[in-house]
Each structure stands twice: as structure tokens, then as C-alpha cells.
Amino acid sequence: MASAYLDGLRGLAPEIALTGTALAVLCFDLVTRGRDSRRAGWLALAGLAATALLLFQQWGGERHVVFGMVAVDMFGNFFKLFTVGALSVVVLFVMNDRRERAHGIGEYYFLLLGAAIGVFFMVSTSNLLLLVLGLELLSLASYSLAGFHKGDKRSAEASMKYVIFGGLSTGIMLYGISLLYGLTGTLDLTLMASGADSGLVRQVASNPAPAGIALVLVLAGFAYKVSVAPFHFWTPDVYEGAPTPVTTFLAVGSKAAGFGALLRFLGALFLNDGVEAGVARYGQRIGLLLALLAAVTMTLGNLAALRQPSLKRMLAYSSIAHAGYVLIGLACMSAQGFSAAMFYLAAYYFMNLGAFGFLLYFEGVLGSDSIDSLRGMGWRAPLVSVAMVAFLISLTGLPPTVGFYGKYLLFVEGWNSGLAWLVVVAGLNSVVSLFYYLRVAKALFFAQPSERAAAPQPVLVGFLALLGVATVVFGLYTAPLQEWATRSLDILTGFDKGA
């Protein structure tokens, strides 16, 4: 018994390391009374590096479930590494954000690490109770981070809206989960649809309406987390009002976590090896619903972004549109579609982190996030601006960037799955996005050179240049990311539930 317990703890080593790091950062900040927050940032980075090392050690190992709730598999590992990478970049952004130096930011890192712990459990469980607990841990930390600048009205407004809408979406999701539990008698997704006598199988065969209502309510909770229409309304205000490093985490890390949990939810219910045929067919109806949401989401996001004078708000609507693109892969309801969605999320990591890093850099220089304030600044900060052009081209989906190949995979899988109409809508939306993305490039380079000097920030500039290079390199050499996404999709096969 003791040996089994210790084996379980070894399976949770990354989560334990991340929790220990969060507590260490909090204690360090209390002891130093917030006077040495930069060292707290380095401590957070060291803990994230240790967590990443433990995740790499687990990669490719035997798949199993720890304590009957937490799955140790390559799918969860994919999103955990994604989160660690995104969070490391966000911590670097916080440490190099000149405006944040006016605030005691030691607890900043504690809240970010707390959000990451929630993400780790969200993406690694098929138990709906633990999924909700992980989601709430992520959400509570995010609410606090959005309102971190307590003296800023926009930040306070962002936090308030986030709390109200987040509480509403969680309530809707919990009601859906309670219905699923009542219909199936279990909170374990792998047991709901597996076997001819499972509760979901009987329900779908006799009266599918209650199961449909429950699933729609749960999907509404996921839709809120990943900014899918019509649950996107909080996104522009929260992204604009929150500190830019927090916005970066919400747009990249939090969104990827939501999609990771949604992929596991859909895969366990409708695509797993043990799923009964009737439930799998019912999943195709869910796929059609997701396809409709994808079309509405990407169209609304792109059209709204056209009119935004604020770069931060434009990127908020852009993130809504990209949620619609990712949904194409989910709407396919196939392993290939899921793999394409995961590749696109990995591509999104590089281009969106870079875009928000560019915003952070020029907010510190200009004190504004308006696109007009960037006029001529491309000649004053050429390295950062050229990297931004690469990010914008990738976000549009043009070669030779990683965003182009990501969209190519999604479009191919959508077409092969009989969603040609959705692929056409996505293609037209990509054309629309070209107008507002290249508006930023036009302001940078096709205007009279600015008289303002760009302050030197070598760490931030170097990192943005590295992200820009990665955006192009992974667009030309796609094999590593594609193989990683494909190998990580191991949730669609059964495995031993011991440990």
C-alpha cells in the first residue's frame, strides 16, 4: 500500500514541484516584504525549469492514472509543457516590464504559478470533479491577476467583469455536469460512454435530449474559457484592462488549457477506442454544433478587429478569431482533426507570445497601446518591428510561417471531414484578417520615421527576435511540432487505470 502511494506521488512530481515553487515564492516575498521581487521572479523561473525537467522525464513513459483521477500520459504532458513554456515567457515579461516596477509584484508570480497548478490538473483528468476544481483554481488566480493594478479603474473593471461572467459560466457548466452525473451515475468520462451498459449509451439510445442538454451546458463552460462566441463578450474588456503580461497568459496559456480540457472531454466521450458506436455517431452531431460555433466565432472576431484603434483590443478580438480556427479541428471529431488543432495551438504559442511581447515593449516606450502611436517606430526599433511583421504574417496564415502550416492542416482535415463550407468561411476570414494585421506593419514602416527614440531593452528585444526566428523556422521545418502533436494524442486509446 505504501509503495503504491509513493508511486502515485512520483506520478504527481511535476505538480508537487510547481506547488512547492509557488509556496517558496510566496514565503520569499513575505520575508523580503516585496523589496526583492526580481529575485522572486528568478525563483519562479528556476521552479518552472525543474517542473519542465520532471515533465521531460515522464515523456514516453507508461501511461497510467494516479489515485484514480490524474492521468499521466503524453497528452497531458503536451499541455503541461505548453503551460510551463508560456508561463516562463510571461514571468520574463513581468521582470522586464518597466511599468510593473511601481507595484509590489512578488505575489504576481505566486498567482501565476497557482493558475498553472490549476491548468495541470485540468488537462490531466477525465474526472469531471477534478476538472472543475482545476478550472476554478485557474479562474480564481486569473480574476486576481486581471485586477492586479488596484488603482487602475480599467483593471478593476476587468477583474469585476471577469468574476461575474466567470461565476455565471462555471454555474452553467456545473449544472451540465450534475445532469451528466444523474444520467450516467459516474463522474469519470472514460466510464460514461464505454461498454454497452454504460449510462450515456442507454440514454442516447432511449432519449438523447437530456444528454444533449447536459452536453451543451458543459460545452458552454468550455466556450467561455476559450472565448468562443457567444461567450466571448468578456474577452476584449478583460484583455484591455488587465496588465499586459496577464493578458498574455490569458491569451496563450489559459486558452490552451481550456482547449486541452475540451479535447480530453470530447475524446473520452466520443472518440476513445472503447466508446460504443451509438455514442460515437451522436458525437458527429456535437461536431456539427462546434463547426457552427467555429464559423460564427472566427467571423465575429475578425470583423470586430477591423475597427479597433487599440493594438491590445485588436489582439483580443484576434484571439477570439483564432479560437474559431482551432475549433475546425475539434469539429472534425477525428484523431487527425484533434492532431491538427494541437499543432495549431503550438504554432499559436510562438506568434501570439511574440505579438504581446511587442505590445509590452512599445507600451513601455510610448505609454500607449494605440496603433497610431506606432507610426514610424519601425525605423527606431527595427529588430522588434521586423519580428512583429513575422508574427502578423503568421497570425494571418501566410507562408513561410508556422501559422500558415497550422491553418493548412486544419483546412485539409476540415475538407476531408466533409466541412468544406467551414473551410471556405475560414479562408475568407483569413483574407479579412490580412487587413487589420498589416495595418500595424503599415504604421511601423510606411510612415514618416518617428523622432522618438526606443529605449534599449536587450533581454526583451533578444527574446522577441528569437520568437520571430522560431515562427519562420517551424514554418519551414514542421516535422518536430507535427510529430510532437501526433504522438501526444494518446487519449484516444484505452490504458491501464491502475496506480
**What value does the mean pLDDT take over residues 428-433?**
92
58-62, 224-228, 281-285: which is most confident: 224-228
Q: What is the per-residue pLDDT across 407-417, written as a single tens digit (0 to 9) for each?
A: 999 999 999 98
% of the chain at pLDDT higher than 70: 90
Answer for the pair 213, 182: CB distance below 8 angstroms, yes or no.
no
Confidence of residue 449 (pLDDT cuts 50, 70, 90): low
Provide the pLDDT for residue 451: 62
Provide the pLDDT for residue 101: 56
Q: How far is CA 32 from the centre of its chain?
A: 33
Which of 127, 119, 125, 59 lies closest to 90, judged by CA?
119
Provide the pLDDT for residue 109: 86
**What value does the mean pLDDT take over residues 441-462?**
73
**What value does the mean pLDDT take over residues 46-58?**
90
What φ, ψ does residue 376 adopt, rounded to 5°? 80, -5
**What value does the mean pLDDT take over residues 306-315?**
88
Q: What is the per-residue pLDDT across 109-144, written as a single tens digit (0 to 9) for each?
A: 888 899 999 999 999 888 899 999 998 899 888 888
Confidence of residue 496 (pLDDT cuts 50, 70, 90): very low
Confidence of residue 497 (pLDDT cuts 50, 70, 90): very low
Q: What is the per-residue pLDDT across 156-202, written as a single tens digit (0 to 9) for each?
A: 777 787 888 888 888 899 999 998 888 888 888 887 776 556 667 77
Provide the pLDDT for residue 499: 37
Confidence of residue 53 (pLDDT cuts 50, 70, 90): very high
SS3 for the chain is CHHHHHHHHHHCHHHHHHHHHHHHHHHHHHHHCCCCHHHHHHHHHHHHHHHHHHHHHHCCCCCEEECCCEEECHHHHHHHHHHHHHHHHHHHHHHCCHHHHHCCCHHHHHHHHHHHHHHHHHCCECEHHHHHHHHHHHHHHHHHHHCCCCCCHHHHHHHHHHHHHHHHHHHHHHHHHHHHHHHHCCCEHHHHCECCCCHHHHHHHHCHHHHHHHHHHHHHHHHHHCCCCCCCCCHHHHHHHCCHHHHHHHHHHHHHHHHHHHHHHHHHHHHCCCECHHHHHHHHHHHHHHHHHHHHHHHHHHHHHCCCCEHHHHHHHHHHHHHHHHHHHHHCCCHHHHHHHHHHHHHHHHHHHHHHHHHHHHHHHHCCCECHHHCCCCCCCHHHHHHHHHHHHHHHCCCCCHHHHHHHHHHHHHHHCCCHHHHHHHHHHHHHHHHHHHHHHHHHHCCCCCCCCCCCCHHHHHHHHHHHHHHHHHHHCCHHHHHHHHHCCCCCCCCCCCC
**What value does the mean pLDDT take over residues 296-324?**
91
Which of 322, 339, 285 lies closest to 490, judged by CA?
339
* Residue owning grid cell 451515475: 185
Task: Tell me how far apart the alpha carbons of residues 190 and 269 are, in angstroms, rounded to a whole number.
Answer: 7
Q: What angle do CA 345, 111, 103 make, to 5 degrees?
A: 115
Provide the pLDDT for residue 51: 92
Between 201 and 325, name the one with better pLDDT: 325
Provide the pLDDT for residue 394: 92
**What value does the mean pLDDT take over residues 68-83?**
86
**What value does the mean pLDDT take over residues 448-468?**
74
- Considering the entire predicted model, what is its pTM? 0.89
Residue 452 has pLDDT above 70, yes or no: no
Identify the weakest region by mean pLDDT among 90-94, 200-204, 301-305, 437-441. Answer: 200-204
Task: Tell me how far apart the alpha carbons of residues 47 and 43 are, in angstroms, rounded to a whole number.
Answer: 6
Residue 108 has pLDDT above 60, yes or no: yes
Q: What is the per-residue pLDDT across 330-387, written as a single tens digit (0 to 9) for each?
A: 999 888 999 999 999 989 888 888 888 888 888 777 777 788 888 877 777 788 888 8
Provide the pLDDT for residue 198: 63
Residue 424 has pLDDT above 90, yes or no: yes
Provide the pLDDT for residue 3: 66
Provide the pLDDT for residue 201: 73
Confidence of residue 440 (pLDDT cuts 50, 70, 90): confident
Answer for the pair 301, 315: CB distance below 8 angstroms, yes or no.
no
Residue 494 has pLDDT above 60, yes or no: no
**What value does the mean pLDDT take over residues 101-115?**
76
Provide the pLDDT for residue 493: 60
53-67, 247-261, 353-367, 481-495: which is most confident: 247-261
1-10, 153-162, 463-472: which is most confident: 463-472
Residue 426 has pLDDT above 90, yes or no: yes
**What value does the mean pLDDT take over residues 448-455?**
62
Task: Tell me how far apart the alpha carbons of residues 325 and 338 are, in angstroms, rounded to a whole number.
Answer: 12
Task: Tell me how far apart the alpha carbons of residues 369 and 367 are, in angstroms, rounded to a whole number.
Answer: 7
* Mean pLDDT computed over every residue of the chain: 84
Answer for the pair 26, 34: CB distance below 8 angstroms, yes or no.
no
Confidence of residue 71 (pLDDT cuts 50, 70, 90): confident
